[in-house]
Amino acid sequence: MADQNQRAEIFELNNGTMRVFITNYGCTITSLSVPGKDGKLADVVLGFDSVDPYMQGLAPYFGCIVGRVANRIKDGKFTLNGTHYSLPVNRPPNSLHGGHKGYDKQIWEVAEHKKGDNGSITFKYHSRDGEEGYPGNLSLSATYTLTSTTSMRLDMEAVPENKPTPVSLAQHTYWNLAGHNSGNILDHAIQIWANHVTPVDENTVPTGEIKPVKGTPFDFTAQKRIGESIHEVGIGYDHNYVLDCGEEKEGLKHAARVRDPSSSRVLNLWSNAPGMQFYTGNYVNGVVGKGGAVYGKHAGLCLETQGFPNAINTPNFPSIVVQPGEKYRHSMLFEFSVE
User: Is 248 contained in some domain?
Assistant: no
Residue 5: the pLDDT is: 63
User: Is 237 contained in some domain?
Assistant: no
Q: Is the pLDDT of residue 1 over 50?
A: no
pLDDT, tens digit, 9 for 90 and up, residues 135-148: 999 999 999 999 99
Sheet of 211-212, strand order: 174-175, 301-306, 275-279, 238-242, 196-198, 211-212
Please tell me whether 313 is known to bind a ligand. Answer: no
* 231 catalytic residue (yes or no): no
pLDDT, tens digit, 9 for 90 and up, residues 166-214: 999 999 999 999 999 999 999 999 999 999 999 999 999 999 999 999 9
| DSSP single-letter state for residue 293 | P
pTM > 0.95: yes or no: yes
pLDDT, tens digit, 9 for 90 and up, residues 81-109: 999 999 999 999 999 999 999 999 999 99
Please tell me whether 72 is known to bind a ligand. Answer: yes
Distance between CA atoms of residues 297 and 238, nearest Å: 13
Residue 3: the pLDDT is: 52
User: Is 205 contained in some domain?
Assistant: no
Residue 203: the pLDDT is: 96
Mean per-residue pLDDT for 161-170?
98
Q: Which of 239, 304, 330, 335 is catalytic?
A: 304
Mean per-residue pLDDT for 127-132?
98
Distance between CA atoms of residues 9 and 239, nearest Å: 33
Mean per-residue pLDDT for 231-239?
97
- CA neighbours within 13 Å on the CB side: how many for 339? 11
Mean pLDDT of the chain: 97
User: Is 219 contained in some domain?
Assistant: no
User: Is 224 contained in some domain?
Assistant: no
User: Is 229 contained in some domain?
Assistant: no
pLDDT, tens digit, 9 for 90 and up, residues 261-276: 999 999 999 999 999 9
Q: What is the domain-level CATH number for residue 143?
A: 2.70.98.10
Q: Which residue segment(s) compose the domain that 114 sits in?
A: 10-185+276-338
* 180 catalytic residue (yes or no): no
User: Is 207 contained in some domain?
Assistant: no
Cβ atoms of 18 and 150 within 8 Å: the answer is yes
Residue 6: the pLDDT is: 81
Please tell me whether 24 is known to bind a ligand. Answer: no
Binning pLDDT at 50, 70 and 90, where does residue 4 land? low
Q: Which of 172, 180, 298, 330 is catalytic?
A: 172
Percent of the chain with pLDDT over 70: 99
User: Is 295 contained in some domain?
Assistant: yes
Count of structural domains, the chain: 1
